[in-house]
Amino acid sequence: MAEKPFDPIASKTERYEKGASIRKKVPLEKHQEWNSFKNRKNPVDILIQTSVGRVESLVPIRYSRMMESPFAFYRGAAAIMATDLAHTSVSGINLQLCGDCHLMNFGGFATPERKLVFDINDFDETFPGPWEWDVKRLAASFVIAGRWRKFSNKNCKEFAWHVADSYKRHMLDYSKLSALQIWYADIDLAELIELGHDKELKEFDQKRIKKASEYTAHEKEFAKMTYFDGARARIKDEPPLIFHPSGDLEKLVAKEGEIIHKRYIESLSEEKQILLSRYKLHDIVIKVVGVGSVGTLCGISLLMSATGEPIFLQFKEARKSVLEEHVKIKGKYSHQGERIVMGQKLMQSASDMFLGWTNDSKDRFFYIRQLRDAKIKPVLEVMKPKNMADYAKACGWALARAHARSGDPSMISGYIGDTDEFADAISEFSVLYADQNESDYNKMLEAIKHGKLPIAAEI
């Protein structure tokens, strides 16, 4: 039976002991297990199923991006892993999950107070479920990315171990804080970089932080992304990745663009509504983003004030979470955009000030945020094994902080305990699942080779 996310009456000690007692029913070593179960669905069929309802002309780009490497495949295969995680052991402790917790969905960004923090930054699949699922997807992503970088098997397994060990240590720290202290907690990006062990990479990241903190995103993006057509500023087309809609999409935007924007404004708090009332919707383009999101309706809207100051917003289609069909918990929100926004606000230490949701007349759901706000992405290509280990620790920390907000850190800490057993189990699982991911990737390549999945060049 699933435990409640938090018992406000029980003491920290009682909740810790309750978590520890669950180990008798679900030993920590159970988390190392991964075997392809009977009647496991063909991963290619799951990919095809998750492409239904996407923009048909963009689906081949999705598969092209996924075929680049097993790591690129993994980024687009959240639905496949959700199906698999439903067949793994869980403690029964549930909380709000990120849902697609791989290492590229973490990074630095500016809070509304202009502080640079490190946190999870993608919540498209957020949904309540077993906390272990986020940890396993994150840890496995480090093994898969490490193999992509040609690091040793020993290194790759250690990365996964560091994710789980960091999660354990920081969850214990959060379990000793009050709920309010946890709510105030964040991870300062500059301080995090100082903890690193590589002087050269430290200097590289410090330069990136300096540049990000000086970056007035909207004005610089405006100069780079727009042109004047003689009457007004318009966003530049860069097909097939950025383009003005045509055909049915053009009709949809022309008919509903203003309505969709109005509904978005209404989802914001009153002071944000007043702020954005000083800007008018000026232009809209479709933009291909990420790996897993390719083919969903995503894009950029340009807002302009009466005196010519721009704001760029990014809209993303919000579909049902890949977790939803695999958990017994009923979703609280029927609006998928609202689900994402509320999950993000619950788990993040600070969320984008313009984060909101909307929908069109056919109940296609969206969420909206700023296009960029001093965002700093991990650059895996320049990382050495020791940098990757540091990054694994940082991601484990950020995930523990998010779960401490949405769940019960005392109960989770009690369950994990103070030994290395949990980290050992997660690292074993991660290696096994990385092998499974490679097998699934090869099945996708075979499907492409035989014409079952279409691909398309991006240039």
Of the pLDDT bands very low, low, confident and very high (cuts 50, 70, 90), residue 57 is confident
Question: HSE (CB half, 13 Å, CA atoms) of 325?
Answer: 11
pLDDT digits (tens, 9 = 90+) for 386-429: 999 999 999 999 999 999 999 999 999 999 999 999 999 999 99
Computed over every residue of the chain, the mean pLDDT equals 92
Of the pLDDT bands very low, low, confident and very high (cuts 50, 70, 90), residue 376 is confident
Q: Give the whole-angstrom CA distance, residue 417 versus residue 172.
A: 9
Residue 278 has pLDDT above 50, yes or no: yes
Of the pLDDT bands very low, low, confident and very high (cuts 50, 70, 90), residue 205 is confident
The answer to whether residues 286 and 197 touch, using CB atoms and an 8 Å cutoff, is: no
Q: Where are the beta strands (DSSP E) in 106-147?
A: 106-110, 116-120, 127-130
pLDDT digits (tens, 9 = 90+) for 59-97: 999 999 999 999 999 999 999 999 999 999 999 999 999
What is the chain's length?
459
Dihedral sign for Cα 147, 149, 153, 157, please.
Answer: negative
Of the pLDDT bands very low, low, confident and very high (cuts 50, 70, 90), residue 5 is low
pLDDT of residue 253: 78
Of the pLDDT bands very low, low, confident and very high (cuts 50, 70, 90), residue 2 is low
What residue ranges do the domains of the chain occupy?
12-214+379-449, 217-370
pLDDT digits (tens, 9 = 90+) for 331-354: 899 999 999 999 999 999 999 999
Residue 231 has pLDDT above 90, yes or no: no
pTM of the shown model: 0.94
- 160: nearest Cα among 133, 137, 128: 137
| The residue type at 15 | R
pLDDT of residue 251: 80
Q: Give the whole-angstrom CA distance, residue 28 versus residue 19.
A: 12
262 CB neighbour count, 10 Å cutoff: 12
Mean pLDDT over 351-361 rounds to: 95
DSSP H stretches of helix in 149-246: 153-175, 179-184, 189-194, 199-213, 217-225
Of the pLDDT bands very low, low, confident and very high (cuts 50, 70, 90), residue 374 is low
pLDDT of residue 215: 57
Specify the DSSP class assigned to residue 363.
Answer: -
Of the pLDDT bands very low, low, confident and very high (cuts 50, 70, 90), residue 459 is low
pLDDT of residue 1: 43
Largest CA distance in the chain: 72
pLDDT of residue 55: 86
Least confident interval from 217-221, 257-261, 423-427 = 217-221
Tokens standing for 59? 């689906």
Q: At a CB cut-off of 8 Å and minimum separation 6, what does 19 contact?
A: 91, 93, 408, 410, 411, 412, 413, 414, 415, 416
Mean pLDDT over 375-382 rounds to: 89
pLDDT of residue 3: 58
pLDDT digits (tens, 9 = 90+) for 295-337: 888 999 999 999 989 999 999 999 999 999 999 988 899 999 9
Q: Give the whole-angstrom CA distance, residue 94 versus residue 221.
A: 41
Least confident interval from 40-49, 98-107, 215-224, 255-264 = 215-224
